A = this chain, B = another copy of it.
């Protein structure tokens, strides 16, 4: 059994990134390797210049629920970047930027937060995923 959990992150809002970070943290906690590919707005959220900024919540949040989440989150912000930093300390978590999205966003390797380990293409990511689980967020 290939127990690597592969995740493609595409959404760039704090709630989706938090949902992904919680899954990644849970996987790391039970000793599973995690392999993340950042695309589009998720990749954009990992720019060093803005990773700790507010990235908003998905449009599908009812405003009452969104208000509760903002009020209850520590410092009013979902702490996905910090959750990911802890997950990387805890287990084997590799975060890679999709080369295609890098080009589309005009991003350079040096623009990205140190949470990002390297850049790779989709084919490499799929080969690494092998027959393990792939989750798209």
Binding site for B on A (CB under 8 A): 1-3, 5, 8, 10-13, 15-16, 18-19, 22-23, 25-27, 29-30, 32, 39-41, 44, 55-56, 58-62, 65, 68-69, 72-73, 78, 98, 100, 103-106, 121-123, 125-127, 129, 131-137
Contacts and interface: CB of A to CB of B under 8 A. Distances in A.
Contacts of A1: 131
A106 B64 CA distance: 12
Interface hub of A16, A30, A61, A122 (most chain B Cβ within 10 A): A122
B8 A23 contact: yes
Contact of A131 (B3, B56, B60, B126): B3
22 contacts: A5-B134, A10-B16, A10-B19, A12-B62, A15-B41, A25-B122, A26-B123, A29-B123, A30-B126, A40-B69, A41-B62, A41-B65, A44-B61, A44-B62, A59-B59, A59-B60, A68-B105, A68-B106, A69-B105, A134-B135, A136-B136, A136-B137
A65 B45 CA distance: 10
Contacts of A121: 26
Copies of this chain in its oligomeric complex:
3
Nearest to A130: B1
